[in-house]
Amino acid sequence: MNWLMPITTTATEIQRNYKQVRNRAKKAKVPVTVLANNKPEGIYMDYETFVREYIKRDKISPRKQKSDFSEFLGLWTKEEADEFDKIIEDAFEQVNPEDWRS
């Protein structure tokens, strides 16, 4: 369903009436926005909605997610990468090999 207004609940309502909130989310098949002090605090969705909207849509398998850092490649500028490399080099220069002997 395409909703003009998001379905909302409060953090207190989840604490007091979890089953009702869960049933509302399952019936609507959309995420429910959780409000705290009238501001969005989080999202509640049932597992079927999560799988449909995020796992299947993006073709992500919970067991086949990347285990490396390739998704972060290219996020730094050259200057930021150079600064990081310099910090790492300086840190390794300060390592005392004697500290590693048993």
Write out the DSSP string of 24-80: HHHHHTS-EEEEETTEEEEEE--HHHHIIIIIITTT--TTS---SSGGGTT-S-HHH
| Residues in the chain with pLDDT values less than 70 | 1-4, 57-72, 94-95, 102
* pLDDT value of residue 84: 83
Tens of pLDDT along 33-50?
999 988 999 999 988 888
